[in-house]
Structure formats: structure tokens, C-alpha cells
Amino acid sequence: MTRLQRLFRIAWVFCRYRLDTFLPIAELPAPLKVFFLLAPWHLFPQPKLDRGDRLRLALEELGPVFVKFGQILSTRRDLLPDDMAESLKNLQDRVPPFPSNEARSIIETSLGAPVSDLFAEFSPDPLASASVAQVHAATLRNGQKVVVKVLRPGIEKVIRQDLALMYLMAGLLEKYWSEGKRLHPMEVVADYDSTIHDELDLQREAANASQLRRNFENSSLIYIPFIDWDYTRKSVLVMERIHGIPIADTAALKAAGVDMKVLAEKGVEIFFTQVFRDSFFHADMHPGNIFVDTSNPSDPRYIAIDFGIVGTLAPDDQSYLARNLLAFFRRDYRQVAQLHIQSGWVPPDTPVNQFEAAIRTVCEPIFEKPLKDISFGHFLLRLFQTARRFNMEVQPQLVLLQKTLLNVEGLGRQLYPDLDLWSTAQPYLETWMRKRIGPSGLIKSLQSHLPSWLEQSPEMPQLVHDALLQLRQAGPTEPQNRATLALLREQQIRTERRWRRATLAVLLIAGGFLGTQPESRQWIESVPAWSWALFAVAGGLMLRGSR
């Protein structure tokens, strides 16, 4: 019943704001065209509002899931007309607020004290209001200027209803649509379910902010405000108040003398740094969450807020993605095709030559062009057609990353339309790959894994011994089985010797390599002499045991 009620609610809003006028009815098949011409929304008068305002109000009325969708659309001026994109900008931080007395009640319940005792000053009028929460200006008793973020009351119920409907629709798509299994709609919705529930926990958001602040401490790229943990709970977050020009206010940025090319390039660098250096990225980078510090206009710095949604990548996905992007930037379409097959993103029997030719056909037209000259809508259409032709499966773990990339690309298009995204990103990725697989990457890997290897290496022979013991206890004792066990014991002895020799060889090679690298001298000198003595004794025992 809840799903049906929500479905009727969506249909009512659709009819009320006459969103049918956005549909390309003339291009639909004849049966669908007749259905739309006779549909019940024609009984509703068309509102005397601009089309952008109608879409914005409809999304606002439908709740946070739809508002998030509108926020993404607001940055896509290549996909939407300017008047609609301009209206949807209001969804970034000007969603209708809830009453301030409700905000005060939530703060007092969460922090266990009256607002007048907690803050020297508290503004009843919200600074900004978004789909999930709203923000009030305040001053702590020590004089620190802060903002207080308060979760919307009743927001969990609305989101549960929307998610229930999304699961229903995803299940129907997967069951009755031929493309359903390839697109993994249930997994995508489940991933979004986890993400949106994380956003409803402001303590989790505060933890995300603290991690990002550590990642970019003293950075000239971006500033992350500090969190006041004494005043932060699940429904309330208190954070340093920042001052800057909203990223969407390009007129103000230009009036302040900001170098827009540098700003756009820094945005690309921030994205790739978060994804590949840290594997921890701000995944809600719409313009309402980004400001600019213009104190040094020639070297501007981003300021980020709202850390409810962050993304991470598994090492395998991170590596495959980096290699794919580098091959793409170098126009090595064959490697792109092979990497897609190796990673399992397309079936293993995919013809490499055909897949390579299809990728080249889609990608070649957009190279060496600034963002303003790329038809992103046409590019996406061709990309989806290629994916469908080769049964390319949607990767749910990359959905957040794709959403973030859309936001970043949309911001770059607004800030500096002449930005060459490819030439900006390629050097960074090449540097990252060199660090990952070059000498410095090997040193870093050895430094991080060597203690673990040393701890685990003595256990390997014992694990083999335990497995043989269990086999002996569990199995029968016929002569053929006794012979099998004898053979296994002999193999165990050989395995132990080989393991000791291999481990010792790795340690000697690693030690010799580290000793020749200037980067490792500080680490080597910091190890006490007695540790090196024990290391030498252990090596001697291993050598003796390997004979």
C-alpha cells in the first residue's frame, strides 16, 4: 500500500505540473502517442509558470531523492536549456526550509541543553536549506563562528517510501526487461539505499569531513572546515563557518579577478587526487556545496561543505579505472577494449577487434576539443548504444564515481568552457601510475607490507602441517592412503624449504634495493641496531632450515 500511495503521489505531481509537456510525444510510436494524447493529465490546467519552475517545484514536492536528481541536472547546461538549468540551481541550497522552532527542538533534544545555553548567538533564519537538512548560523560561547546543520524532521519516512518504490521498479525492470540483468538495477538501488542512509547520519558526515580534512591538510587546492565534535550528534552537526564565493556565481568570481582557467584545472586535479591518491572522494560536488577562496585570485582555492556522500574504490577497480583512462587519453583503444574484458565489464568472448572499433567510433570525435564544443548528450547516447551492443554490464560500485564525474565535468563547463579536460587530466594520471608501479611505489609498498610479511612467513609451513594433520585424522588408514600421506609429508618438507629460500631471497633483494634508494635512508636509520641483529639471526636460521 505504501508503494502504491507513493506511486499515486508521483502521478498526481506529474499531472499537476503538466510534466507531460517535457516528453517528445511526436517521436513516440503510434500506440504510445495515442495513450499520451488521451492521458488524464490533460484534465489539469497548465500552470502559469515557466517550464523550469514547473520542473523545480515538482521535484521539490516529490522529496529528497528527486531533488538530488535535479541538482545533477542543474549543472548539465549541455543537456538542458539555460532557463531550466537556471531554475534548477535553486535546488542546490534554496529548497523551502522547515520552521526554525522545529530546528531548535531537534538541537535541544540531541544536545541535551537549551539553544540559549549552547550558543552565544543562534540565527532563527536558515542560511541555506537543502533536501536532507538545513543550516543555521551560530556563535559558540568561546566566540567561534559556526554553522549548525539540522536534519529535516520526518525525512527518513519519505526516503523509505521512495526507496520502496525504486526497489519495486528495479525488480520489475530486472524481471521483465531484456536489458534488466545487464544493468543490475537492484544492485544500483541497493547501493543508493546505503548511500542515502549514510547521508541521514550527521555523525558519519562529520567523520567524512575529518578524513577529507586530513587528506588535504595545508593543501593549496581545497580547504575543508573543521568539525566541533562536542556539538555533533546523529541529527545535528556543528562546523566551522566558512566564507567564499559560491562556485556557481561566475560573475562574482570574474569580478574578483579569479583566474578561471586555474580554478577549472584545480577542480580536475582535486577529483583525480581524491579518487586515485586517497580512494576517498566527495561524491556530492554540486555547485551548492562548493565555494571559492578568492584571497589570492591568481591561485584560488576551493572550499567544500556537505560531506554526507563520499565514495571509495577497491584497489582492483582503482587500478583498472586508471589504466582505462590512461589508455583512453592516449587513444589506445585496443588496450581499453582488452582492459574491459580483463576486468569482467564485458563478456570474455567479446570480439576485441569489433569492440575496439566501436570504442574508437564513440571516442574519437571528442578528442582535442574544449568542453564547450563537446555534445555530451550525443556522446552518452552513442556510449549507451555501444554498451548495449556488447552486453557491457553496469558496475554498481562505480555509480557514485560516475555521478561525481558528471558534476565535475559540469562545473568545468560553467567555469571555463575552453578547458581541455583530456590534456589536464592525463599528466596527473601518468604521474600517479609512475608512483604506483615505479621505484618509489615499490619502496612504499615494501615499507607498508614488510612487517606483515615477516609476521606471517613463519606461519606458512605450520598451516601446511595443520592441513596435513587434519587430513590424516579425518581419512582412512588403508595402505594407499598412507602412501598418499607420506608423499604429502615429503611435499611439505620441500614446500617449507622453498618457502624459506623464497622469503630470504625476497628480503635480501628488498634490503639491497632499499639500501640504494635515498628515499629509504631515513626509514632504515630509524630502525634500532638490535632489530637489524635479530633480522640477521632470523635470516641465518632460515638459510640453515632451507638446506
Residue 42: partners with Cβ closer than 8 Å, 6 or more residues away = none
Q: Cell numbers 606461519 correspond to what residue?
A: 459
Neighbours of 77 (CB within 10 A): 17
The x, y and z cell numbers of residue 539, run together, are 635470516
Q: Which of 78, 93, 162, 284 is catalytic?
A: 284
Ramachandran bin of 143, using left for φ above 0, alpha for ψ from -120 to 50, beta for the remaining angles: left
Residue 127 annotated as part of some ligand binding site? yes
149 annotated ligand binder: yes
Does the annotation flag 304 for ligand binding? Answer: no
The answer on whether 134 is annotated among ligand-binding residues is yes
Asked if residue 533 belongs to a known ligand binding site, the reply is no
Could you tell me the three cell numbers for 174?
Answer: 530486472
Q: Which of 104, 131, 132 is nearest to 116 (CA)?
A: 104
Place of cell 542543474: 74
Sign of the torsion formed by the C-alpha atoms of 505, 507, 510 and 513: negative
Please provide the distance, in angstroms rounded to a whole number, between the alpha carbons at the two ends of the chain: 74
How does DSSP classify residue 80? S
Q: Is 133 annotated as a binding residue?
A: yes
Catalytic residue check, 299 = no
Q: Return the number of other C-beta atoms located less than 10 Å from residue 166's C-beta.
A: 20
The DSSP letter of residue 373 is G
What DSSP string describes 241-308?
Answer: ----EETT-HHHHHHTT--HHHHHHHHHHHHHIIIIIIS-EES---GGGEEEE-SSTTS-EEEE---S
DSSP reduced 3-state for 127: coil
Length of the chain: 547
Is 357 annotated among the ligand-binding residues? no
375 annotated binding-site participant: no
Q: Is 132 annotated as a binding residue?
A: yes
Residue 248 annotated as part of some ligand binding site: no
- Contact (Cβ atoms closer than 8 angstroms) between residue 216 and residue 293: no
Please give the single-letter amino acid code of residue 343.
Answer: S
Cβ partners under 8 Å of residue 426, min gap 6: 326, 329, 330
In sign, the C-alpha dihedral spanning 498, 500, 501, 505 is: positive
Q: Annotated binding site for ATP: which residue ranges?
A: 127-135, 149
Residues with active-site annotation: 284
